[in-house]
Structure 1
């Protein structure tokens, strides 16, 4: 992930929840930074690891990582769901249908594509469940894409 995108997500999550704002604890010491909490949450999501896998690397306990993960996911949903996770409205559908018709695909809103990707960091306990024909763990990515992604 590129740094500007990561920082945009972090800034939105910080503005949404005071949990991610750096504060002093009861003894007066600086608490964990928002970058540490968001990095821990994103690493758990990206690598599929457990919450206690990052305690030495980021100096965060599994409790804080678990809390940060839950609050991070809730924050991303509340900050970005209106823009990225919404159903298309009538104007969106009309525009997509018009462009599809212009390109020779009448009645098409978007296209669906599926593919198997090798899951390098699949937890050992799940490897058997996700084994593909190659014997290696894979995940299936399903994407609905429209022409707007190329603009």
Structure 2
């Protein structure tokens, strides 16, 4: 995540909920800063780690990190869902189509890519379903379509071979 995006989220969060404002406790010590609370929540989301994992780096208790994460998610969805967390409209679709045409690719909205992640804690009952090829480990796949400005048009998590290009484009 770019610094400007992080700081925009921090600004929105600080204006929406007094929980994120730094306070002084009964013995006149400063409490956790806005940046500590937001950094802990963003690291938990970005790196898929528990609240214990951010405890050492950010110096924040597990209960505070979890509470901050819940509040940030709620605020981000409330504030940004109208602009970013919605289905595209016809104006949104015209922009990448025009960009593709200008670059010599008429009708192209974006590029499709696929990533494979090892699922270390896959339940034993599901392991065979998620095994792929010669590997002896469970794999989960992310398929995504993104335009050149990194706007994500489609994302799909699933089993290898469960979704092909035609199904992605149909969605």
- Considering Cα pairs closer than 8 Å and 6+ residues apart, tell me whether 1 or 2 has the greater RCO: 1
Aligned to 1:73: 73
The separation in 2 between residues aligned to 1:70 and 1:7, in whole angstroms, is 18
The separation in 1 between residues aligned to 2:86 and 2:28, in whole angstroms, is 43
| Cα shift at 1:55 | 2.4
For the pair 1:7 / 2:39, whether they are aligned, the reply is: no
Aligned to 1:146: 147
TM-score (norm 1): 0.70
Tell me the secondary structure at the aligned position of residue 84 of structure 1. coil
Q: How many residues align?
A: 145
| Cα shift at 1:40 | 0.9
- The within-5 A match list for 1:11-50 is 11-50=11-50
Tell me the secondary structure at the aligned position of residue 28 of structure 1. coil
Tell me the secondary structure at the aligned position of residue 82 of structure 2. helix
The separation in 1 between residues aligned to 2:57 and 2:149, in whole angstroms, is 39
CA RMSD of aligned residues (A): 3.2
Tell me the secondary structure at the aligned position of residue 49 of structure 2. coil
- Structure 2 unmatched runs, 5+: 152-171
* CA shift digits 1:69-93 (9 cap, x unpaired): 1111112222322222122223334
- Structure 1 unmatched runs, 5+: none
- The within-5 A match list for 1:99-110 is 103=104, 105-106=106-107, 109-110=109-110
Relative to structure 1, the CA distance from residue 77 to residue 125 in structure 2 (aligned partners, 3 Å threshold; closer, same or farther) is same
Tell me the secondary structure at the aligned position of residue 9 of structure 2. helix
Tell me the secondary structure at the aligned position of residue 145 of structure 2. strand
Deviates more, 1:71-80 or 1:86-95: 86-95
The separation in 2 between residues aligned to 1:79 and 1:88, in whole angstroms, is 17
